[in-house]
Amino acid sequence: MDPANAGDGTRPGRDGTVRLGDRVFGGLAKGSGITLLLIMAAIAVFLTIRAVVAISRDEGNFLTTFEWDANSHPPVFGIAVLLFGTVVSSLIAIVLAMPVAVGIALFISHYAPRRLAAPIGYLVDLLAAVPSIVYGLWGALYLVPRLTGFYEWLDHLFGWTGILSYNGTPARSLMSVGILLAIMILPIITSVTREIFRQTPRAHQEAALALGATRWEVITTTVLPFGRSGIISATMLGLGRALGETMAVATVLSPSFLINASLLESGGGTFAQNIASQFKEATSMGRDALIASGLVLFVLTLLVNGAARLIIARRREYAGNAG
Partner 1 sequence: MKLRLGSAALTGALVGALSLTGCGSDDNSGIPGALDFSLDDLHCGPDGTLLASGSSAQANAMEVWVNTYQTNCAGSQVNYKATGSGAGVQEFLQGNTAFAGSDTALDADEIEESRSVCRDGGRALNLPIVAGPVAIGYHLPGVDDLVLDPDTLARIFDSRITRWNDPAIHRLNPDARLPDAPITPFHRSDGSGTTENFTSYLRAAAPDSWPHEPDKAWAGRGGQAADGSSGLVGQVQQNEGAIAYFELSFAHRNEISTVRLDTGAERPVAATVENAAGAVDRARVVGRHGDLALEFDYTARAVDVYPIVLVTYEIACDRGNEPDSVGLIKAFLGYAASEEGQRALARIDYAPISDPIIDQVRRRIDAMA
Interface residues toward partner 1, by CB under 8 A:
68-69, 71-72, 140-141, 145, 168-170, 172, 250-251, 253-256, 266, 276-284, 286-287
Residues 6+ apart with CB under 8 A from 98: 189, 231, 235, 238
The HSE-up count of residue 24 (CA atoms within 13 Å, CB side) is: 3
Q: Which CB sits closer to partner 1, 173 or 235?
A: 173
Q: Which CB sits closer to partner 1, 140 or 232?
A: 140
Least separation, in Å, of the C-beta of 43 and partner 1? Answer: 21
User: How many degrees, rounded to 5, is the angle at CA 308 between CA 303 and CA 313?
Assistant: 125
Least separation, in Å, of the C-beta of 89 and partner 1? Answer: 15
- Indicate the residue type of 228: R
User: How many degrees, rounded to 5, is the angle at CA 286 between CA 282 and CA 289?
Assistant: 140
Q: Which CB sits closer to partner 1, 89 or 278?
A: 278
Least separation, in Å, of the C-beta of 79 and partner 1? Answer: 16
Q: Which CB sits closer to partner 1, 117 or 276?
A: 276
Least separation, in Å, of the C-beta of 250 and partner 1? Answer: 5
- 248 in Cβ contact with 139 (< 8 Å): yes
**Residue 176's closest CA among 130, 144, 210?**
144
Whole-angstrom Cα distance, residue 186 to residue 129?
Answer: 12
Least separation, in Å, of the C-beta of 273 and partner 1? Answer: 8
- 152 in Cβ contact with 168 (< 8 Å): yes
Least separation, in Å, of the C-beta of 137 and partner 1? Answer: 9
Taking CA atoms, 211 is separated from 99, 208, 319, in Å, by 28, 5, 21
Q: Which CB sits closer to partner 1, 229 or 251?
A: 251
